[in-house]
């Protein structure tokens, strides 16, 4: 038994090393003192972080990704939460068809969703001239994550609590604000966290729907690597990783990661 436990623990450890090693290499490479992006680093320097924050193209892309991620998260929560509530409480005979419709962007490859949206934009005459098209694309791929998390929270919420509130005279809107929403808050925040991460790091949607002057950070990194290979890209990647970790820490401070388990 001890042997099997040791082997299982070793397997789990190997999986963690496999997942974390690329991130560790990128972090260490971002502190390289030489001009080439190489590993192991030759010396220690913060010059590439300075270069990243002093680069106007990178800063514009970073600000765009941040604003786009926040806006897409808010829109996804405002759409995905009512959709989950309708699916769990009111969908009736059409519930599975409705669920497949909402989850379609998650079931299909993102590149197909991006191509379909691109064709649609050109059919209605907007093309990729506006950042609004990029925003809509991000919302489309983020909604399923909010929907799934809120749906899980609603399934764990007893309808008797809402019925008790209505029997005491609360309106449906007051019942939602005072009873339902506080109880499903972990699911809403968890869905918002997923939506922000998916939007901030999205490549497939941004690749086809970005317009001139509206390049998110992942695409700016991709374009930069076509012409340069210095550690600035590693520094930018570390900043993206820190943004993701910051979102996780924020959720932990708001509701606690233990509350995210359903």
Q: According to the 3-state scheme, what is the secondary structure of 76-139?
A: HHHHHHHHHHHHHHCCHHHHHHHHHHHHHHHHCCHHHHHHHHHHHHHHHCCCCCCHHHHHHHHH
pLDDT band at 93 (very low <50, low <70, confident <90, very high): confident
User: Domain count of the chain?
Assistant: 1
**Structural domain contains residue 99:** yes
> Would residue 43 count as lying in a domain?
no
45 located within any domain: no
Q: Which residue has the higher pLDDT, 143 or 178?
A: 143
Tell me, yes or no, whether 222 lies in a domain: yes
Taking the model in full, what pTM does it have?
Answer: 0.82
187-212 pLDDT tens trace: 898 899 889 989 988 888 888 888 77
pLDDT tens per residue across span 32-73:
877 777 777 777 888 888 888 888 888 988 999 999 999 999
Q: How many CB atoms lie within 10 A of CB 64?
A: 21
How large a percentage of the chain has pLDDT more than 90?
A: 14
Residue scoring higher pLDDT (9 or 66): 66
pLDDT of residue 81: 92
**pLDDT at res. 30:** 82
Tell me which residue range forms the domain holding 199.
Answer: 56-260
User: Residue 83: inside a domain, yes or no?
Assistant: yes
Residue 37 counted as domain residue = no
> At 219, which CATH number?
1.10.3720.10
- Is residue 49, in this structure, part of any structural domain at all? no
Domain contains 132: yes
């Amino acid at each position: 038994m001890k042997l099997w436990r040791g082997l299982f623990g070793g397997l789990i450890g190997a999986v963690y090393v496999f997942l974390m090693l690329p991130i560790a290499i990128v972090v260490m490479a971002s502190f390289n003192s030489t001009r080439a992006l190489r590993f192991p680093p030759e010396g220690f320097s913060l010059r590439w972080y300075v270069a990243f924050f002093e680069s106007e193209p990178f800063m514009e892309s970073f600000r765009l990704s941040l604003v786009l991620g926040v806006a897409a998260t808010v829109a996804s929560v405002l759409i995905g939460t009512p959709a989950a509530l309708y699916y769990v409480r009111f969908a009736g005979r059409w519930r599975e068809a409705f669920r497949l419709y909402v989850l379609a962007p998650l079931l299909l490859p993102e590149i197909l969703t991006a191509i379909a949206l691109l064709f649609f934009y050109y059919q209605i005459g907007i093309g990729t001239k506006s950042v609004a098209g990029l925003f809509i694309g991000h919302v489309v791929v983020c909604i399923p994550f909010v929907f799934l998390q809120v749906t899980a929270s609603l399934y764990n919420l007893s309808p008797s609590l809402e019925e008790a509130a209505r029997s005491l005279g609360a309106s449906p809107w007051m019942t939602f604000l005072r009873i339902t929403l506080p109880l499903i808050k972990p699911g809403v925040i968890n869905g918002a966290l997923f939506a922000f991460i998916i939007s901030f790091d999205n490549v497939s949607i941004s690749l086809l729907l970005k317009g001139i002057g509206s390049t998110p950070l992942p695409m700016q990194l991709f374009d930069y690597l076509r012409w340069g290979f210095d550690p600035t890209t590693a520094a930018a990647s570390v900043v993206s990783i820190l943004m993701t970790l910051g979102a996780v820490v924020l959720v932990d401070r708001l509701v606690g990661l233990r509350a995210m388990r359903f």
